[in-house]
Amino acid sequence: MFWRYRRYLPAKKIILLRSHAARNSAGYQLFPTRILMMLFHTGKLRLLAVATTMLASMSFISAASAAGPTYALVQINQQALFFNLMNKGAQDAAKASGKDLVIFNSNDNPVAQNDAIENYIQQGVKGILVAAIDVNGIMPAVKEAAAANIPVIAIDAVLPAGPQAAQVGVDNIEGGRIIGQYFVDYVQKEMGGQARLGIVGALNSAIQNQRQKGFEETLKSNPKITIANVVDGQNVQDKAMTAAENLITGNPDLTAIYATGEPALLGAIAAVENQGRQKDIKVFGWDLTAKAISGIDGGYVTAVLQQDPEKMGAEALNALNSITSGKTVPKTILVPATVVTKANVDSYRPLFK
């Protein structure tokens, strides 16, 4: 924090920069220490900031709306449809309750998430929602917010025990078990009781590691299901596609792929199509998209566990409203997930038109 350095400054020579954004209660600009260089010259303090870094820092800070307290949502990225739907749910709930919500896109960078929370604490928001990338690494920022009496609600990624006010989302390990059991049953009924499986995961995502764990637990019931390899799609579609293509070419006997998230699933679908393996590789995964529906129609995407990210965002925002008005909320707020197959996909088509 900037104020940590006050003890090093001459009296009455602290300089605050005026700006139209990110002002404190006195109307002055606050900047994180990472973008400030303090130089003493002839007894005077000069503040020097790199312009592009300053602009990046300022881009996600917004003054509180007169309509109500400002909340912040610290998001993983804004490329995946899943996160955009979560944003929409939170935005709609904020608008309906007369609150102002700002959203920070961390672009899959866990350090950026910590920096964002620190900035929002300085800004004085009334509550923070976070979809964490690194559930352990985010905890110091969560604790700092709690110390400032700012409630934090985690969405989707389950944080370790700490001062966070609530957790909203699915149980990702249990979700992995649900889609895993569907896979095991499908192998028994439709694949002659045996399968050679490849997994496209995201090893940088605690959520997706949990989904992989739950899925793999169910495979123990059938020793004829073997795992050829686990590849890392890094939660980025293009990288997941490349990883899945390497998985397929390196294991010509592959008969099934499990993808732990939307980018992994899209990458796996593209790889199966690019390799012309639609007839002999069945794809299972998480998070429905228009492309996944097309794969279901084509017969090579067998089942997708569909969450309700829009409801997650709305539930989290409404929980913040309750907390900031003095009410209590459950520590865990579960939002159910559904296995989508050819049998029930029609009801989901309107979401992706």
Give 60's pLDDT tier (boundaries 50, 70, 90).
Answer: very low
Residue type present at position 94: A
Q: Is residue 340 one of the residues assigned to a domain?
A: no
Segment 189-200 mean pLDDT: 98
Q: CA 106, CA 330: separation in Å to the nearest integer?
A: 28
Whether 239 and 302 share a structural domain: yes
pLDDT, mean of residues 65-73: 67
d(CA 256, CA 220) in angstroms, rounded, equals: 16
* pLDDT per residue as tens digits for the range 282-323: 999 999 999 999 999 999 999 999 999 999 999 999 999 999
* Counted domains in the chain: 3
pLDDT band at 351 (very low <50, low <70, confident <90, very high): confident
Instruction: For residues 211 and 296, state if they share a domain.
Output: yes
- For strand 301-306 and strand 338-340, is the pairing parallel, antiparallel, or unpaired? antiparallel
In a domain, 349, yes or no: no
Mean pLDDT along residues 108-112: 96
Whether 179 and 268 map to the same domain: the answer is yes
Question: What pLDDT was estimated at residue 31?
Answer: 44
Task: Note whether residue 35 is domain-resident.
Answer: yes
Tokens 């070419």 belong to 249
- Cα separation, 320 vs 327, in Å, equals 9
Report residue 170 CA to chain centroid gap.
Answer: 13
Establish how many alpha carbons lie within 13 A of residue 218's alpha carbon, considering only the half-sphere containing its beta carbon: 21
Check residue 152 and give its pLDDT: 99
| Beta carbons of 170 and 334 less than 8 angstroms apart | yes
Q: Give per-residue pLDDT as tens, 13-58.
A: 333 333 333 333 333 344 444 444 443 343 433 334 334 433 444 4
Asked if residue 343 belongs to a domain, the reply is: no
Q: Are residues 183 and 217 in the same domain?
A: yes
pLDDT over 60 at 142, yes or no: yes
Q: What is the predicted pLDDT for the residue at 64?
A: 40
Domain, as residue range, for 50: 1-59
Question: Within a 10 A sphere around the Cβ of 274, how many other Cβ atoms?
Answer: 12
Quick one: average pLDDT of 219-228? Answer: 98
The dihedral region occupied by 94, where left means phi > 0, alpha psi between -120 and 50, and beta the remainder, is alpha
CA distance 281 to 301: 9
Residue 223 lies in a domain: yes
Q: How far apart are CA 158 and CA 143, in angstroms?
A: 15
What is the Cα–Cα distance from 321 to 310, expressed in whole angstroms?
17
Strand 282-286 versus strand 301-306 pairing type = parallel
Mean pLDDT of the chain: 85
Instruction: Judge if 165 and 314 occupy the same domain.
Output: yes
* Domain end point (choices 266, 288, 306): 306
Q: What is the mean pLDDT of residues 160-174?
A: 96
Any domain includes 279: yes
Same domain, 163 and 178: no
Q: Specify whether 209 is located in the same domain as 230.
A: yes
d(CA 166, CA 163): 9
CATH number, residue 180: 3.40.50.2300
* Model pLDDT, residue 7: 33
pLDDT of residue 69: 55
> Could you tell me if 301 and 313 lie in one domain?
no
Residue 217 confidence (pLDDT): 98
Assign 352 a pLDDT band (cuts: 50, 70, 90): confident
Q: Does residue 350 lie within any of the structural domains?
A: no
Whether 226 and 291 share a structural domain: yes
Integer Cα distance of 134 and 159 in angstroms: 9
Is the pTM of the predicted complex or chain greater than 0.85? Answer: no
pLDDT for residue 106 is more than 50: yes
Residues 191 and 294 in one domain: yes
- 220 and 290 co-located in one domain: yes
Is pLDDT of 249 > 70?
A: yes
